């Protein structure tokens, strides 16, 4: 099934100057960039985005990290895009991520892990709508 998913290159990925490297991996694996914009999230925007994690011990640190610099927000589109994006990113903790994945290759820690990807159709719909209007997504 052709799906859309939200991808974020987090502030550490932007700082490391690997935007192109990450997008290259998406494109090489059949995902298309359907929307993209850079944004420096406010604390409120980060907290709203990660609201499902608000009870977690790492929530405030995570939101601080996500507002530490600009991010690249993208909508990726393609066959099985949600699972494909997560497969390319690898496990949340780079120490546990499979060889050749984005997080294994570039991430410094379980928090500073380079990329975000929606984990299910419902979260993809919420997350895409959180950052993009329909007019900003190219079919
Ligand atoms: P994923 O991004 O792989 O879907 P989660 O949804 O579980 O992972 O967590 C969201 C984000 O919160 C992670 O990508 C990471 O930046 C951060 N995070 C997750 N677990 C931890 C942790 N134990 N300590 C610090 N930060 C964490
Ligand atoms: Mg998640």
Q: What is the pLDDT of residue 136?
A: 98
Tell me the CA–centroid distance for residue 110 and ligand 1, in Å: 6
Q: What is the pLDDT of residue 57?
A: 98
Among 76, 116, 117, 132, the one annotated catalytic: 116
Q: State the residue for tokens 């709203």.
A: 48
pLDDT band at 130; cut points 50, 70, 90 = very high
Give the separation between CA 99 and CA 97, rounded to whole angstroms: 7
Ligand 1, atom 25: nearest CA belongs to which residue?
Answer: 111
Residues 6+ apart with CB under 8 A from 102: 22, 25, 88, 89, 90, 114, 115
Active site residue 116: yes
pLDDT in tens, 82-126: 999 999 999 999 999 999 999 999 999 999 999 999 999 999 999
pLDDT in tens, 34-89: 999 999 999 999 999 999 999 999 999 999 999 999 999 999 999 999 999 999 99
User: Ligand nearest 97 Cα, by number?
Assistant: 1
Residue list, ligand 1 pocket, CB within 6 Å:
53, 58, 62, 92, 110-111, 113, 116, 119
Tell me the CA–centroid distance for residue 10 and ligand 1, in Å: 12
Q: What is the pLDDT of residue 43?
A: 98
């Amino acid at each position: 099934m052709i799906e859309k998913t939200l991808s974020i290159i987090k502030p550490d990925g932007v700082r490391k100057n690997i935007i192109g490297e990450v997008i290259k991996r998406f494109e090489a694996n059949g995902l298309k960039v359907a929307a993209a914009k850079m944004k420096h999230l406010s604390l409120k925007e980060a907290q709203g985005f990660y609201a499902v994690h608000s009870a977690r011990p790492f929530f405030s640190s995570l939101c601080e990290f996500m507002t530490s610099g600009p991010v690249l927000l993208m909508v990726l589109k393609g066959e099985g895009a949600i699972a494909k994006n997560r497969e390319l990113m690898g496990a949340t903790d780079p120490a546990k991520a499979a060889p050749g994945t984005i997080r294994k290759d570039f991430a410094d820690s379980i928090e500073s892990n380079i990329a975000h990807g929606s984990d299910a159709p419902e979260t993809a719909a919420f997350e895409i709508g959180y950052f993009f209007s329909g007019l900003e997504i190219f079919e």
